[in-house]
Structure 1
């Protein structure tokens, strides 16, 4: 049986990044500041910290990580780059992996899926949907 090769669909991917941008932007402060943190509670045990890592004229980079101490074995963490001129949000780091390519050969050394870039951005979409349904924004602070 011949397995088909994954071919990325750029319009679909850009649409996903546009929807992620529209869903993430309301969670952020109106004027983000470097080091600023805010917290999203999805339940008593699941509190996520959003930290502003970079602020530039056309971009903002935010780190999203589970900050609950109860989850010692797996701490989900990813960085999202927001492109304000294009109104797109893209995951640029997940766990320890930086910058995703459009298509990975399979199998590969990192065991990334052929559509890993799309899947990691769909994870952001799912997390944002969960925030919209169950999330409660807590307080905001600027870390020193």
Structure 2
């Protein structure tokens, strides 16, 4: 029996995914990119997410996307922290469901049962969620504090 080859990330594929995420995330962003700015994203009458600007730097912005309430979905709704790289036009998930510091490759098996390509998978989850927003005809409204 031959051993399965170790997972090796494909950087061009990952960067392409991050570029698509940036393009799909851009219409959801608040008009102002100031810390504390919030946007309410409604997918339907029961599914709402809050997008909040956490950090603004000259070339990057960090956003948090969280569900406002748990719906009757059979799976947990996603919660992301996303770093936007404005100069490169990339959006990368830096935290998913509270798990920070995602590595490019994990040994498998591991004690946390993370997949070898966990970082790619959470960025793919963001891509799928953004596609769902577009397909559902999302409503994005500023949150007035």
Q: Same fold (TM over 0.5)?
A: yes
For residues 16 and 69 of structure 1, do their structure 2 counterparts lie closer, same or farther at Cα, with a shift above 3 Å needed? closer
Of the three residues 130, 133, 144, the one matched with 1:131 is 133
Where does residue 105 of structure 1 map in the other structure? 107
Alpha-carbon offset, residue 142 of structure 1: 5.6
Stretch of structure 1 that moved more, 74-83 or 107-116: 74-83
Unmatched 5+ residue regions in structure 1?
Answer: none
In the TM superposition, 1:111-122 aligns within 5 A as 111-122=113-124
Aligned partners of 1:60, 1:48: CA distance in 2, in Å?
18
Where does residue 54 of structure 2 map in the other structure? 53
Runs of 4+ in 1 over 4 A off after TM superposition: none
SS at structure 2 position matched to 1:44:
coil
Unmatched 5+ residue regions in structure 2?
Answer: none
* Contact map agreement 1:40 1:135 (CA 8 A) in 2: no
Where does residue 90 of structure 1 map in the other structure? 92
Aligned partners of 1:104, 1:57: CA distance in 2, in Å?
31
For residues 127 and 74 of structure 1, do their structure 2 counterparts lie closer, same or farther at Cα, with a shift above 3 Å needed? closer
Alpha-carbon offset, residue 69 of structure 1: 5.1
State the TM-score, normalized to the length of structure 2.
0.90
Aligned-pair Cα RMSD in Å:
1.9
State the TM-score, normalized to the length of structure 1.
0.90
